């Protein structure tokens, strides 16, 4: 057992393979016990978590708000209209004040550096609820979904067909540590950020996994077990809509694209989804794991928050990753 009490959860880059496995084991443990057997498990009685959102959210907000409550803790949702953060009060001052009220802060922000400031200036664990750079909670949920579906993760190949930003960046930080190969197709000009790519290439080398970049979706999907995409227009990029729709032509995930993938390929999408990046035939098909993927956001965020606040001991067997 490795203790993660007191840590921040800003990027999977900061977490070792055994720590990531323990978070996934904890998520599986909570799911089996609370959902599976109806156990009442309230280790967070007396704890409170602040949820700062500078952008919209359905999944991250609801999974955290209900998840913290389920574990006996108190979640406090703070929309940009409710608090002064970064508007009327500096992040530094807000972080210091909030640290006096709360045991943990989850924040969804524009610039990743705002999370780093919260972590530096505050004195409670900070959890990344999405930044421009990373969305590590989403990747834990994706990994739990693939684990549930395939029975293990090691040796799977994930093909990314889409934009080079937060979601794929977090895949790149997590996949090598779990033995998952990544083949990444992004349109020219929408590649993953150079610093992230460099770090990820090193991780892939260190853990002996494949990490491959291309501008051709078919090339990425060749032999892949999992096809993943995300919106082409992330929150805050609404003004780029027309040029992005043009640049991403040929990137829609369809059964035709899946023809080059492994026979048993499945589809993931963090949601919210638009039709341009994946057609209805795939999105609503048997191959699509998007609903369990969304549900797993809850078990995984519960695992993260619990692990940063307390040493949780799993009572169900460790999955074979």
Minimal distance, residue 268 CB to ligand CP, in Å = 11
33/55 with CB nearer ligand NVA:
55
Residue 312's alpha-carbon distances to 7, 144, 232, in angstroms, are 14, 18, 38
Binding segment for ligand CP among 28-36, 55-63, 171-179, 215-223 (CB under 6 A)? 55-63
- Give the span between the Cα atoms of 177 and 156, in whole angstroms: 12
Interface with ligand NVA includes 29 (CB under 6 A)? no
Minimal distance, residue 50 CB to ligand CP, in Å = 16
Q: Which of residues 215-274 bind ligand CP (CB under 6 A)?
A: 270-271
Which of ligand NVA, ligand CP, none does residue 234 bind to, with CB < 5 to 8 Å depending on kind? ligand NVA
Interface with ligand NVA includes 131 (CB under 6 A)? no
Q: Which of residues 227-256 bind ligand NVA (CB under 6 A)?
A: 230-231, 234-235
H helices of 160-216, where?
166-174, 194-207
Residue 56's alpha-carbon distances to 10, 59, 108, in angstroms, are 19, 10, 9
Minimal distance, residue 270 CB to ligand NVA, in Å = 5
Q: Are 220 and 214 in contact (CB under 8 A)?
A: yes
Q: Are 12 and 139 in contact (CB under 8 A)?
A: yes
Which of 139, 180, 261, 270 is close enough to bind ligand NVA by CB under 6 A? 270
Interface with ligand CP includes 308 (CB under 6 A)? no
Query: How do strand 181-185 and strand 211-214 relate by DSSP bridges?
Result: parallel
Which of ligand NVA, ligand CP, none does residue 186 bind to, with CB < 5 to 8 Å depending on kind? none
Residue 314 appears among annotated catalytic residues? no
Which of ligand NVA, ligand CP, none does residue 197 bind to, with CB < 5 to 8 Å depending on kind? none
Q: Are 218 and 256 in contact (CB under 8 A)?
A: no
> Order of strands across the sheet with 104-108?
74-78, 48-53, 104-108, 126-128
Which residues carry out catalysis?
Answer: 270
């Amino acid at each position: 057992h490795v203790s993660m009490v007191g840590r921040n959860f800003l990027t999977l880059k900061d977490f070792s393979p055994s720590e990531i496995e323990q978070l996934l084991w904890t998520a599986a443990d909570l799911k089996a016990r609370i959902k599976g057997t109806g156990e009442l498990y309230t280790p967070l009685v007396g704890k409170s978590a602040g949820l700062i959102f500078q952008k919209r959210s359905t999944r991250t907000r609801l999974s955290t708000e209900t998840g913290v409550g389920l574990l006996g803790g108190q979640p406090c949702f703070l929309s940009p209209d409710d608090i002064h953060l970064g508007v009327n009060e500096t992040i530094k001052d807000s972080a210091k004040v909030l640290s006096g009220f709360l045991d943990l802060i989850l924040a969804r922000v524009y610039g990743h550096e705002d999370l780093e400031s919260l972590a530096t200036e505050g004195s409670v664990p900070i959890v990344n609820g999405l930044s421009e750079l990373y969305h590590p909670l989403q990747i834990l949920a994706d990994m739990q979904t693939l684990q549930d579906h395939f029975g293990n993760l090691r040796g799977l190949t994930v093909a990314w067909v889409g934009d080079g930003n937060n979601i794929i960046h977090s895949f790149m930080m997590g996949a090598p540590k779990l033995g998952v190969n990544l083949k990444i197709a992004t349109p020219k000009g929408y590649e993953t950020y150079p610093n992230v790519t460099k770090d990820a290439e090193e991780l892939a080398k260190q853990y002996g996994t494949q990490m491959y970049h291309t501008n051709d979706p078919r090339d990425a999907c060749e032999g892949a077990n999992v096809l993943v995409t995300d919106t082409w227009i992330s929150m805050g990029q609404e003004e780029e809509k027309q040029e992005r729709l043009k640049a991403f032509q040929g990137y829609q995930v369809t059964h035709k694209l899946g023809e080059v993938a492994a026979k048993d390929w499945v589809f993931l999408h963090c949601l919210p989804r638009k039709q341009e990046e994946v057609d209805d035939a795939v999105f609503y098909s048997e191959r699509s794991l998007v609903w369990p993927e969304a549900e797993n956001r809850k078990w995984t965020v519960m695992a993260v928050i619990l692990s940063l606040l307390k040493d949780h001991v799993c009572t169900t067997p460790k999955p074979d990753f």
